[in-house]
Amino acid sequence: MFWERSQAAPGIGAGGFWERSQIKHQRLHPVNCEAFRGLLSGGYGCPMSEVRSARQRATIQDVADEAGMSRGTVSRVLNDEPYVSPKAREAVQDAVRRVGYVRSAAARSLVTRRSGAIALIVHEPSVVVLDDPNIGNILIGTNAVLSDADQQLVTIMVDSARDSERVVEYLRGGFVDGAIVLSARDGDPITGAIEEIGMPACFVGHPSDAANISYIGIDNRDAAEQITRRLVDTGRRRIGMLASGLDRDSGQDRLAGFTAALGERFDPDLVARNPLFSYTAGAEGMRELLERAPDIDGVFAASDAVAAGAMDVLQRSGRSVPSDVGVVGFDDSAWALRCDPQLSTVRQPARLLGEQAAHQVLEQIGGTDDGPRGLLLPTEVVWRGSA
């Protein structure tokens, strides 16, 4: 007679590891032997020997036996080599499906010396990654191109110095063939590791210490200058900025563009600084600016999420947007349309940034690139009701 045990402690399910301390009131129940034999037969009345265990991987020999072909013929079909008849190729492909054969990535990488994977390294706190539509659109664009090229996208979030060290070792381990890096900081060890390894790579943005690595981006300084001038043209006189991400090129360039647009009217006391491009950063920065300058009548926020936080604080303080304070942002993300009134902003082509970065890495892997290069994509000022 067979026995089963029941009433495991919460969280202990079928197939879990059993420990004496985790089992409450263990009882033994008789199990019908015929039913148990049915389970052993795979539940379909066939002998256990004919049911492939989930732990057993089908081999090339299994495919060859099923197709009635030699191992050599099977290998040529799997490697998409010539000199195989259409009939034989079809027979092998049918056999692959029947036996459930899956090619070993490790074995394939030994032959090709490639992993078939590209890393997308996002140098942002996880709360920003999940809250930033631009990062999502860059990821979508990257994945679309890599998927078409039969490459696997591996997304890595870097939130601390310890994360950077871990990623450096990961890259050196040869687990990916190339890397796309978002929001890299100057002096980031990941940048140094990519150069040292000679790994195919492309940055979204252009850190100053990555002169020998290809990049894709936008002219953040020019775009910030354009939208600030547009805000000035509405008659605003006390214009402040919610600056974010000043530890990277995008944040630095947006502040530089804002400063250039105001010229002699620039007041450093009307700049609130925060490391994150986030709603919370915008709310905190706006409260800070209102304390310093209650008469402020215009705000340039370094991102749409920052602008959304600022608008909520302004409206809760009794100020009307745009009648009392005009607000403009940057990105033209989903945040811009959530705002009420909708946000005037700079549109940047986030998805295209991801696509172009992926193309650059694939060209480097394929040996068809002409060396490190930079590409700036155009932006556009989108004027809505917030200013």
The three-state (H, E, C) secondary structure of 36-68, written as one string: HHHHHCCCCCCCHHHCCCCCCCCCHHHHHHHHC
**Are 325 and 314 spatial neighbours (Cβ–Cβ below 8 Å)?**
yes
> Is 67 a residue whose pLDDT tops 90?
yes
> Domain 117-217+352-379 adopts which CATH fold?
Rossmann fold (3.40.50)
Q: What is the mean pLDDT of the chain?
A: 85
Query: pLDDT by residue (tens digit) across 325-358?
Result: 999 999 999 999 999 999 999 999 999 999 999 9
Question: If 0-12 CB within 10 Å is exposed, 13-18 middle and 19+ buried, where does residue 126 land?
Answer: exposed
Q: With respect to CATH, is domain 220-347 assigned 3.40.50.880?
A: no
Q: Round to whole Å and give the CA distance between 358 and 374.
A: 14
Who wins on pLDDT, 20 or 223? 223
Do the domains 220-347 and 60-103 match in fold?
no
Average pLDDT score over residue span 242-266: 96
pLDDT computed for residue 213 by the predictor: 92
Q: Where are the domains of the chain?
A: 2-50, 60-103, 117-217+352-379, 220-347
Query: pLDDT by residue (tens digit) across 21-45?
Result: 333 334 444 444 444 344 444 444 4
Query: pLDDT by residue (tens digit) across 270-329?
Result: 999 999 999 999 999 999 999 999 999 999 999 999 999 999 999 999 999 999 999 999
DSSP bridge pairs for 75: none
Residue 34 Ramachandran class (φ > 0 left, ψ -120 to 50 alpha, else beta): alpha
> CATH for 60-103, among 1.10.260.30, 3.40.640.10, 1.10.260.40, 1.10.3720.10?
1.10.260.40
> Is 19 a residue whose pLDDT tops 60?
no
pLDDT computed for residue 104 by the predictor: 64
Q: Round to whole Å and give the CA distance between 200 and 172.
A: 13
Q: Which of 236, 248, 255, 99 is closest to 183 using CA atoms?
A: 248
- CA atoms within 13 A of residue 121's CA, in its CB half-sphere: 30
Structure pTM? Answer: 0.73
pLDDT computed for residue 114 by the predictor: 65
pLDDT computed for residue 127 by the predictor: 78
Q: Round to whole Å and give the CA distance between 289 and 275.
A: 16
